[in-house]
Amino acid sequence: MKINWGTGIVIAFALFMSFILFFVFEVQSNSKYDNDLVVEEYYKHDSHFQEEMARVQNAHDLQQKPSITYNEEGVKVVFPSSFENDKIKGNVLLYRPSNKKFDFNTPISLKNATLLIPKNKLVKGRWDVNMEWDYNGKKYLTKQVIYVN
């Protein structure tokens, strides 16, 4: 049986479509490839965007800013010594963009102006750290990306 050009192109196109459809169905049906939304209730979150930007601006306007760093112990949040520890309230959200199952919230409770989130709570990779805090009735939001090795 002899295959001409037209038949060969149709066969190649059908094989290519089958290949693509196989991977589409594999990714949609396998829980290993979760494709969750970045934020639950996206539109509700987006409606508070202006308030969030005001809190980010408040944090940006500070003369001395809290620092968020990663070291061998874990994620360390250090507030400047000019802040009174008992007046700082809020929480730290560690958000994993690749898998929401690893996201967690930690309330801010300081020892010597420092909060330590242990390394054993973190898996390797990228983490978005969103620290929402309140000091003397003014709200702040500090965002930073860290990479855990």
Q: What digits encode the pLDDT tens for the residues 98-139?
A: 777 888 888 888 888 888 888 888 888 888 999 999 998 899
Q: What is the torsional sign of CA 118, 129, 108, 46?
A: negative
- Write out the two tokens for 13: 């196109």
Distance CA 114, CA 95 (A): 20
Specify the DSSP element, H or E, that contains 90.
strand 88-95
Predicted TM-score (pTM) of the model is: 0.69
Q: What is the pLDDT of residues 53-91, one digit of tens each?
A: 999 999 999 898 899 999 888 999 998 888 888 888 999
Whole-number pLDDT of residue 10: 95
Counting DSSP H helices and E strands in the chain, the numbers are 3, 7
